[in-house]
A = this chain, B = another copy of it.
């Protein structure tokens, strides 16, 4: 694990945007997965205007959404809607460069990824319960590359989905094997509310009840955190 602790969320965004840009600027196709949610918003604010301004430079950058919760009666699910707004739209990504995972196309996405060389980089956020992608406590399987599950009624996080209107009933997500196969994984974590989760990911027992703990077995995991999120890391981790 390579750990970078930045002073604040703005510095986290600068570093994370640099890593993404460096990966994109190779002379070959690159396949990325990027996370929705609030944490990466400052990163995308830096990055997406650069992408939109140079479409010819980034024409070989492809995106694979790593999870989805379809919304009954809508064309696009929760994840694709959020990423369209936060990233694909502002970055002016060509529709053909977005490979959107749904519960119905798992086999196609699996084959697509394999045919096109696999994921070069995944940018992940971290839940306070250590979830990543839609690998949530209570439903996570470490051994399924991509899997679906029915939204449970009784998990602490259930209301985040069941409370929506329309409410998704099914979720699909890339699992640990797919994430661990990405050439690089970048975990971006900011804010005091994530400090416990980050400490657990980097030092806790590896078990599916705390999904993010599996991430530190990745051979090239970069953690970009601000001081608040890093506040509970032991000295041994900071110095490594």
Contacts and interface: CB of A to CB of B under 8 A. Distances in A.
Number of copies: 4
A199 to B, nearest CB: 13
Interface residues of A, number: 49
Contacts of A114: 28-29, 60
* Chain A interface mostly: mixed
Interface in A165-204: 176-177, 180-181, 184, 203
Contacts of A3: 57
Nearest to A208: B206
A203 to B, nearest CB: 8
Contact of A18 (B21, B57, B207): B21
Given A116-B116, A143-B205, A181-B219, A239 B22 contact: no
A4 B19 contact: no
Nearest to A240: B56
Interface in A37-82: 54, 56-57, 60
A58 B4 CA distance: 10
Contacts of A143: 203, 205-206, 213, 216
Interface string A1-40: 1111000000000010111111101111100000000000
B220 A217 contact: no
Nearest to A11: B50
Contacts of A239: 56
A86 interface: no
A163 interface: no
Contacts of A4: 25, 54, 57
Contacts of A203: 143
Interface in A200-240: 203, 205-208, 213-214, 216-222, 238-239
Given A1-B27, A222-B27, A217 B180 contact: yes
Contacts of A26: 2, 184, 220, 222
10 contacts: A19-B22, A26-B222, A27-B221, A27-B222, A28-B220, A29-B117, A143-B205, A177-B217, A180-B219, A207-B207
